[in-house]
Structure 1
Amino acid sequence: MDEAAPRTRKRKAVTIYDVAKRAHVSIKTVSMVLNNLPAVKAETRARVQDAIDALAYHPNQLARGLASHRSFMLGLFCDGNAIGSNYIARIQMEILKTCQKEGYHLVIEYVEPSSPNLARQVQSLMVQSDLAGGILTPPLSEHDGLIEALKHTDTPIARYSPERSMPGFIDVDMDNVQAGYDMAALLLSLGHRRIGFVHGEYDHADARARFAGFRRAMAEWKVPVDESLCLPGEFTYKSGMDAGDVLLSLPERPTAILAANDDMAAGVLAASLRFNLRVPEDLSIAGFDDSLFSQAMWPRLTICRQPLTEMTEAVVAALIRNEGVEPAAMVFPHKVIVRQSTAAPAEARF
């Protein structure tokens, strides 16, 4: 007769009572530490945290919310067409990291911006999930119908890169016009005069702003903008590669190409290989955002870094403090980072 397989004993879940007992404090004190409330001595807080770590305690978010009459969940709403975008992926990762530090969970929903039921869909998701706050990424962050509908909710809403700040919303952005200006000025200062520009979708405010900054720099340097060198893109690798194919097929191709994000700049770089061009010896390429993608490729991309970590920390902190009642527009500084993908044009080096 075969022996019966030994039964595995299910591990008993660690509770807040276990943490309190190990730390020699009350349950109320543990709750205050979990909710990051200030009225706990540093020594006591450290003892409670040591107990939490030792027991590998994870609070039950539903019970935690019921006990404190608060929700500990934030909702991130993204354009369903942007799946695979390095920009959106980085925002998601930064919010997840920040939520984890603050003891919150994140619900991610992809929605279709052109859907006639968009506003109702987002409102329904927010109510059903009992969210403590909602976060909108472009182009949802400036969708008129959605914004109008969310004005009338009691849930604080944060928006990334809206074209204009609005009362009642937490808005974070960088100065995209100045960023576009600074990147164009960098290429102009290297000696480039025939500069291509691949801009993003027209329904993205930051795409329009970066292009406006590019035009302003060209005007100040008294270099005419050649409209045949300014092509639309979709913030995707493929659209950058397609634009690169067009620009590099011209009888007089540009000596530098500035793309409105890293993904499109990487696509331009791929196109340059098909034309047997050396970067930056034959062609300079630059982009925006500073994704891991831009740092991993070779040559590494010269970019304008968008401070997404700082922006995200501010967004999550404001939502947790429920500061969406008054206007709260925050503009964060960008940084131009010169890497190996840009240099003076060939004719300027002799």
Structure 2
Amino acid sequence: MVAGRFRKRTLEKPRKSVRRKSRAVTIDEVAALAGVSPMTVSRVVNGQGKVRDTTREKVMRAVRELDYTPNLAASSLAAAQHTRIALIYTNPSGAYLRELLVGLLRVASRTAIQLVIDYWDDLDPEAERKAARALAQKVEGVILPPPLCDSRAAVMELIRAKVPVVAIASGRFSEDISCVRIDDFRAGKELTEHLIAQGHGRIGFIKGRAEQSASARRFEGFQAALDEAGIALDHSLVQQGDYTYRSGLKAAEKLLSQRKPPTAIFASNDDMAAAAISVAHRRGLDVPRDLSVVGFDDTSAATTVWPELTTIHQPIASMANTAIDVLLRSIRRRDRSTRVLVDHVVPHRLITRDSVAPLSARKRGKNG
């Protein structure tokens, strides 16, 4: 609602230094006097949309008669409606994407920005450059979730176009764009330490996308925890995935088909962890009695499987909120000659559920 302040006019001649108090005039009062809707008044005052000349004149006559002045804060909000921010996605995890979209849409509705959703289907670097170049002509800022947050081609093209960019959930700070992320190394280490504390030493690991920095950092955290516990890394227990459920099925099959299978599996996201549980069930294994499984992200996938997943909670919706805030501040900076980069690390949490159990003494002796 556009609000303002005014000084009432009087038909009497002013007396010696008589001051009259003013009160706030609402947009509804202007609309009532002009015989139009408050939305029409807003369009006329802010110069937006198509309004008939006769209607515009009625509104302006009412504005003059009431000595109405629009509130600057409200005008800024109206101006924000023209700030177009793009989300480019090609994330294979449907659960992760849902969390991200809900967070962004909630923030977009509150800040009155226009959110543009652009889907890139595994483009090659040259195609990414062309797509980024075209998008830069239409928007004021861009949010890059994984895996595009690690796309050098897209990032450099947007930087060349002088479009502010914020990466969500990249594995490490970038020297090129602002980032909103968790500490993937620390989170991966904590999750592995949790499994080790339950007696597990033979732990399978399902990687995420090979080119994604967050996936690499989670694996580095896994390795660091093993090293500190004096457990040698067994490369036969490391399988490549790509964050999809299907890739989790293939990786889990390879791990559980081994002559000496792992007693626990660390999957780099919840989708692949859910797939690992499915494979275990198909093989007649009880989770967590025969096999413990952990995931990562704490998306809806973590609580729609049985048993529910022990995982790392990554506050995706909150990260979306922060990314929008960082982006808007960058867009509204008057001095664009220098770029101010932000590395915002948000806290994560280890969420323990029923997919992990202590390794029995019998199994510990067999796998020791």
Indicate the TM-score class for this superposition, using the shorter chain for normalisation.
0.7 to 0.9
Residue 329 of structure 1: which of 343, 350, 364 is its match?
A: 343
Q: Which residue of 1 aligns with 2:74?
A: 33
Indicate yes or no: 2:93 matched with 1:78.
Answer: no
Q: How far off its partner does 1:201 sit?
A: 1.3
Q: What is the letter of the counterpart of residue 257 of structure 1?
A: I
CA distance in 2, matches of 1:303, 1:117: 35
Aligned match of 2:41:
17
Tell me the C-alpha RMSD between the 2 structures.
2.6
Partner of 2:134 in structure 1?
124
The alignment status of 1:340 with 2:354, answered yes or no, reads yes
Equivalent in the alignment of 1:179: 187
| 1:298 shift after superposition | 1.6
Contact 2:88-2:143 at 8 Å conserved across structures: yes
Unaligned 5+ segments in structure 2 are 1-35, 46-58, 60-65, 334-338
What TM-score, normalized to structure 1? 0.79
Between the two proteins, what is the percent identity of the paired residues?
28
Distance 1:28 1:282, change over 3 A: same
Cα deviations by residue, 1:3-51 (Å, 9 ceiling, x for unpaired): xxxxxxxxx9761527999xx995722x633645xxxxxxxxxxxxxxx
Question: For residue 261 of structure 2, what is the aligned residue in structure 1?
Answer: 253
Aligned to 1:302: 310
Structure 1 residue corresponding to 2:206, chosen from 198, 205, 208 = 198
Are the structure 2 counterparts of residues 341 and 243 from structure 1 closer, same or farther at C-alpha, using a change threshold of 3 Å? same
Distance 1:183 1:83, change over 3 A: closer
CA–CA distance in structure 2, aligned partners of residues 90 and 176 of structure 1: 18
| Cα deviation, residue 167, structure 1 | 4.7
Matches within 5 A, 1:221-300: 221-300=229-308
Q: Which of 139, 147, 160 matches 1:152?
A: 160
The amino acid that maps onto 1:78 is: Y
Change (3 A) 1:201 1:166: closer
Q: In structure 2, give the amino acid aligned to 1:114.
A: D
What is the match of residue 25 of structure 2? none
How many residues of Structure 1 are paired with residues of Structure 2 in the alignment? 302
Q: In structure 1, what is the equivalent of residue 98 of structure 2?
A: 89
Whichever of the two has the greater Rg, that structure is 2
Confirm or deny: 8 A CA contact 1:71 1:132 kept in the other structure. no
> How far off its partner does 1:219 sit?
0.4
Checking the alignment, whether the CA contact within 8 Å between 2:84 and 2:115 is kept in structure 1 is yes
Q: Is the 8 A contact 1:160 1:172 kept in 2?
A: yes
Q: Could you give the per-residue CA deviations for residues 204-229 of structure 1, whole angstroms, max 9, x where no partner exists? A: 11111100100000000001111111
Task: Classify the secondary structure of the residue corresponding to 2:136.
Answer: helix
Distance 2:98 2:92 in 1: 8
Q: CA deviation at 1:126?
A: 2.6
Mapped contact 2:92–2:244 kept (Cα < 8 A):
no
Could you tell me which amino acid in structure 2 is paired with residue 274 of structure 1? Answer: R
Moved more, 190-199 or 90-99: 90-99
Aligned residues of 1:94 and 1:309 also touching (Cα < 8 A): yes
Distance 1:26 1:180, change over 3 A: farther
Tell me the SS of whatever aligns to 2:247. helix
TM-score (norm 2): 0.76
